[in-house]
Chains A and B, each alone.
Chain A
């Protein structure tokens, strides 16, 4: 037994040493690899943002034919031209994910205000027990407050819920069957009853035939929104944790309650579902609206049906107008925190030359140039000091040799090209990443007769770029920080 005890002590010493080795040389790499949301949080520090917007796909989704792909956070930041605003956007994330993202914003950061997306759907069983939970929860294991080696051990031994889609669905069904509505005179007992009721009566077309598509959509609205939020809801606990964290860090906290397609819900299901919308909204407004240091922006019924991209499913994906409506509403709330920095973007158009050069472009050997912005000498105002360029780029391999080019033509027709290598900023392949350049408007710039700005891809392999955004502005008007759009196909499959 004594021998065993000695060995146990030796094992403990060994583990302490291994923990030290792991923390020093391996942990950061593992964090980037297995918990990459943390990289988003670190990015914020680099950019020294004062406002952070945390969102999911509602922030960065756009219509297939839309040219303007700008996010809600981008539109919001237009109102605060002197403030750097960053966003941490990750598809399918929810309050628990946001909590970890916020927790890993270093204490040295300049963050003052945090805008957290509050998605009503995320309180329902359909999202709480979504199959995407497995990869999301896997990401969080390394981020817990434990010695790094312990976290890695737990990750290696799968200390997160590994469940198949069927197993997750079983949880959802269980809630639909067993969670009863605690509302006086409410005609439905459970979601499952209600769903069955809708399925039984359903929708009919003009010819009196059963419209199965519409019936299925109505059932889906019931399954998505027919739940009652209470204090035991796991998301409520997550939002509470965010409140505590923000208080601890001294941040202003804004919960941005996203718009749902209440028009369609009303049309398809009717007043009973609207009642639940109201009850749940009131619960959230009452719970968090009255908390010190917390503001809730209520956008729930602000966006009309026509501005929702997905007409045959329940999402918070909006067309540009919808994104702008939410951004305008949010900006009005943020104005309370930054009254002197708030400016209507329309008035700023007087001060900034802003050019948005379209959606996604593939630059390959045959077609190596992006859309080109052509400026003439007289279009550059004397008070402009800087050209700010930002675009997203995705490369097939790490060998991209793309440049941002500034081509200056003098009066004699001679041209000179200043080139700025993209690869200095973007090394990762297979994901959308950002390239940003701040170029001074110097004398050569002003003396040129014509200036062309474009991206040129010299590489053998193709690169894609999107949202090429060029603005010319006075130095005092800082450019907004380009929001980091996360891995295009964000959530890892968890195979």
Chain B
């Protein structure tokens, strides 16, 4: 089930109503059933894959706790759990990519092979496998008690608001809350509704309208001039942000309706002054996952320079591969990692600069934000390109075709929606829409609700754009 569908609009109120009507002891069952319905709405049989990882990690958690005083056994169960989870990911996400490349490699060596597989990726696989892994690692480290209730553990992995596109939750946050008895509070309903409304606006009005132009231009590069392609690059930056941010905000709102607080995934990432800051503000649940479970175990920054560079590049390349099984994603991750290294190295190497005329005028930060945005935008091209040929074609058209081709005409409404979003992003830099509304006068608040509701209903794109991160 996707959030921007009529099915979800009917589903969510029913689930929330049942949640508050049922006694606490039955709520987990209802939520689990609802989560199964939510997931099975896509392709029902894929729930079996989910079930396999749930059973393995559930058992591993208990066994690790049972053998807490036998480190070797404990570690063995951790490895079994992680390897089996990664195997699932490997088969369903990476096998097509691996076999395709093996075929190509063999072909280049003059051998004809037909290893290529055509496995369809179950929706949200990368998200819930990472969430499962965070549980077993936390149990192994002793930060989390193993969950004995299979239902609650299943619900932790399958909790429908964040099941298919995150945020990737930690057991310390979500599993704990699932056990808590939630009372009906008007405040939760109000905040949840605000977040859902704002999320719909960001996804359906901003992201989907931009998506129409991005698909058109990236699909017909030969017809457009450089200005159009450059504009389209910027549009894609906002499309992917709004698409993912919109989904996460709806997820947050849906959980909030039932009193659950799940992790904020974004904090105005395009206002970052460096790549490092960007990753503190973009897809926070994934960044912190890699930080806690890969970067720090590798030694983090408390190692020699060469090793630190290696650690950073490993984390970013893994992050790229996590997104998708393609060389372009790997390149995207590597580019971010490399830039992160260069930025940090330069900052250390260069002496602290004094005031320049620009910084004195207050433009220093603005310039740094602009620089980061431009670089991130250029990198998004790697993320969006279907392959290296496409990537090359985008860059070639963007920088060499200023004279020829058509100029895309963008409807004024789209600029307005984008402008409104940028304004909201600046206003919400260190807060969230639901919290931001709290201290606003009632009339202003309701005017904002009315405007958002109107735009969601009457101005949203009618094209069918699935959430971009569904494919991961």
Contact = CB atoms under 8 A, between A and B. Distances in A.
Given A18-B453, A159-B6, A10 B464 contact: no
Contact of B450 (A4, A18, A34, A162): A18
- Tell which of B6, B449, B460 has the most Cβ of chain A within 10 Å: B6
A157 B4 contact: yes
Contact of A157 (B9, B186, B189): B9
Given A34-B462, A155-B462, A156-B462, A4 B186 contact: yes
Given A4-B186, A14-B449, A14-B453, A138 B9 contact: no
A156 B204 contact: yes
Interface residues of A, number: 27
Question: Interface SS of chain B: helix, strand, loop or mixed?
Answer: helix
Given A14-B449, A156-B204, A138 B215 contact: no
A305 to B, nearest CB: 41
B108 interface: no
B436 interface: no
Contact of A158 (B6, B453, B457): B6
B360 interface: no
A495 B464 contact: yes
A3 B460 CA distance: 30
Interface in A129-163: 138, 149, 152-159, 162
Q: Is the interface of A mostly helix, strand, loop or mixed?
A: helix
Interface residues of B, number: 22
A158 B4 contact: yes
Nearest to A21: B454
B82 interface: no
A10 B186 contact: no
Contact of B446 (A10, A34, A162): A10
Interface in B442-462: 446, 449-450, 453-454, 456-458, 460, 462
Contacts of A495: 215, 463-464
B462 A138 contact: yes
A154 B6 contact: yes
A161 B32 CA distance: 27
A34 B458 CA distance: 12
A157 B464 contact: no
A22 interface: yes
Contacts of A157: 4-6, 8-9
Nearest to B449: A14
Across chains A and B, which 4 residue pairs bring their CB atoms closest together, nearest first?
Answer: A159-B6, A156-B460, A157-B6, A153-B457
Interface of B: 4-6, 8-9, 186, 189-190, 204, 215, 446, 449-450, 453-454, 456-458, 460, 462-464
Interface of A: 1, 3-4, 7, 10, 14-15, 17-18, 21-22, 26, 30, 34, 138, 149, 152-159, 162, 494-495
24 contacts: A1-B186, A4-B186, A7-B190, A10-B446, A14-B446, A17-B450, A18-B454, A18-B458, A22-B454, A22-B457, A22-B458, A138-B462, A149-B458, A152-B457, A155-B462, A156-B457, A156-B458, A156-B460, A156-B462, A157-B4, A157-B8, A158-B6, A159-B6, A495-B464
Given A154-B6, A156-B462, 20 more contacts: A10-B446, A14-B450, A17-B450, A18-B450, A18-B453, A18-B454, A22-B457, A22-B458, A26-B458, A30-B458, A138-B462, A152-B457, A153-B457, A155-B462, A157-B5, A157-B8, A158-B4, A494-B464, A495-B463, A495-B464
